[in-house]
Structure 1
Amino acid sequence: MIETSAEYGEAHAPVLQGLWEYVRMGQEDVLRSPYLPASFAFLTHVLLCAPFFVLDALGSVCQRVRSWRISAGSGPPPSLRRWSECFWKVLYKYMTVVFPATALYNTLLSPKLPADAPTCWQLCMEVVACLLLFDMLFFIWHYTMHRVSWLYRSIHQMHHQHHTPFALAAQDSSSAELLSLLLLALSSAWMVGCHPLSEALFHLINTWLAVEDHCGYNLPWALHRLLPCLGGAPHHHAHHRVQTVNYAPFFTHWDHLFGTYRVLPEPIAREHVILLIL
């Protein structure tokens, strides 16, 4: 987050300016806190996982929900115990590594808060630029971790314990990988020169896309069905099954460009076979 003034222009969206002034009012210390980015990342991740927790709970009793699962015939949805174990593992890694390291990173950057809000156009352009930049950096880092054996064993292998991922597992990685991905996101916003409002929206969308990628459901209303440029849960699920394809986190253009894009056939669930026979 970089201090800006004239670069945001004289005309600001009244709604955004009012929102920004409301957020800033009496909250300067909170917004400047070096612990804010990591806290925001963890809390939004947990909250955005809540709808998929409900789906997993319903999946044990509802045939319609089970039919939406990508691996519908491979077993039941993750249990409450598995969700709980994953939550405490991620929280421990944040408390012991991610919070201290990102606090140091933000202290060195010493972010400042501009007086003006961005225009709606600038907000959209900055968020899109951050998503595209992060997608590229993630693709490079992810591909490297898979290609360099010691990086895979020491950093990335823990994430691939989930052959059939679920929403909360999006951040069930080694401490080093969690930290590296959060730093990539923070660096993307810094390189673009985002306004704090744009950065907050970028982190929110980034977290949602990561959760949706790992949710294990090919939902009728999923974003990848609305935006063909996104891979979505089927794209990333194929990566967890094969591990040599689909390295990009959100978009598909880098995998198309490097020949690593694959669409795997979905196995027919046993319930569907029974229905077909009947």
Structure 2
Amino acid sequence: MDRNRIIFGHPLPTMLHYQSIQEAETSFGRNLTVAEKLWFSYSANQPDYLLHCHNILFLILFYTIFTLPFMVVELCGSKNIGKYKLQPNIKRSFSDMFKCYKAVVYSFILAVGPLQVLSYPTIKWIGIRTGLPLPSGWEIFWQMLVYFLIEDYTNYWTHRLLHSKWAYENIHHIHHEYTAPIAFAASYAHWAEILILGVPSFLGPAIVPGHIITYWSWFVMRHLEAIETHCGYDFKWSPTKLIPFYGGAEYHDYHHYVGGQSQCNFASVFTYCDYIYGTDKGYRYRKSILKKQL
């Protein structure tokens, strides 16, 4: 089996250290799982470089797929669904949403794509593995939890920094063009902001490296969470409401509703930082007023 591919004039080795499934099973002293056999069949001849660059493809794919239901909900105008819309007076047309979609995909290709190419040596350095065995479900779960906690805390402070006068006027104001967020606007931002916020997302895998499948899953899950919190609808049946300290769409929508001068609800995923550092007081006050009016 050819163990190398030539890219940019240099050989790029794979990290599958076995020539066949039988050799891997002999080494492990057990049969490979179905998932491991599929992974071997897919990745055995794939250089790690190309496996790493799958990330940008997954981001575009899942961004496209998981925003579509929210587009349908927005366009259908159903009263049963419309009652969950957080800012019901603002309606988005298909052309509005498609314009946002194109801008985000362009930013993925022109900003995130080159970053994926250039960051390959970094994931090798921190120890992201691509070979067998595959990580267990528990390993993926705990690593993902660590990634979410690390990203959430560091993203909180990065987001606050983006609301400083210079950073907001020159970078972050683009994201706040949507005072009533929509799912497509989850990654609608200045190219510099996309790169800046990529740092908190990368810290978790850098500190606790795992398998590249966990690495892919992390970035996909983080992106899906951003889509959910920007969707503009507070669905009471959403399973994310079972997650302790989870902010969600209603929480983040207030941040956009207040607008550029917003100094509250900076949380990326969880709400504990806003509570600890007092940056949710305006939100909690508004909630208390609305509750008294009911």
Which of 259, 263, 271 is residue 252 of structure 1 equivalent to? 271
Give the Cα separation in 2 of the matches to 1:164 and 1:219: 16
Specify whether residues 121 and 68 from structure 1 end up closer, same or farther in structure 2 by C-alpha distance, changes over 3 A only: same
1:177-256 mapped onto 2 (5 Å cutoff): 177-242=193-258, 243-256=262-275
Q: What is the number of equivalent residue pairs in this alignment?
A: 256
Greater gyration radius: 2
Greater RCO between the two (CA within 8 Å, min separation 6)? 1
- 1:1-16 equivalence runs, <5 A: none
Task: Name the structure 2 match of 1:140.
Answer: 157
Q: Which residue of 2 aligns with 1:272?
A: none
> What residue in structure 2 maps to residue 26 of structure 1?
42
**Structure 2 gap segments, 5+ residues each:** 1-14, 18-26
Maintained 8 Å contact 1:38/1:99: yes
Counterparts of 1:93-172 in structure 2 under 5 Å? 93-110=107-124, 111-147=128-164, 149-172=165-188
- Does structure 1 conserve the Cα–Cα contact (< 8 Å) formed by 2:229 and 2:252? yes
Whole-Å Cα distance in 2 between the matches of residues 159 and 134 of structure 1?
19
CA spacing shift, 1:137–1:223, aligned 2, 3 Å? farther
Q: Which stretch has the larger CA shift, 130-139 or 173-182?
A: 173-182
Which residue, 59, 69, 82 being the options, matches 1:51? 69
Contact 1:223/1:230 (<8 A) preserved: no
Q: TM-score, normalised by structure 1?
A: 0.82
Q: After the TM superposition, which residues 33-48 of structure 1 pair with which residues of structure 2 at under 5 Å, given as runs?
A: 33=50, 34-48=52-66
Identity level (%): 23
Distance change in 2, residues 1:266/1:46 (3 Å): farther
Task: Tell me by how many angstroms 1:247 deviates.
Answer: 0.4
Residues 85, 102 of structure 1: CA spacing in aligned structure 2 closer, same or farther, 3 A cutoff? same
Aligned-pair CA distance for 1:266 = 10
The aligned amino acid for 2:82 is: R
The two structures, once aligned, show a CA RMSD in angstroms of 2.9
Q: Distance in 2 between matches of 1:266 and 1:224?
A: 23
Alpha-carbon distance between aligned partners in 1 of 2:217 and 2:115, rounded to the nearest angstrom: 22
Give the structure-2-normalised TM-score.
Answer: 0.78
Q: Which runs of 4+ in 1 moved over 6 A?
A: none
Distance 1:192 1:108, change over 3 A: closer
Residue 67 of structure 2 aligns to which amino acid in structure 1? C
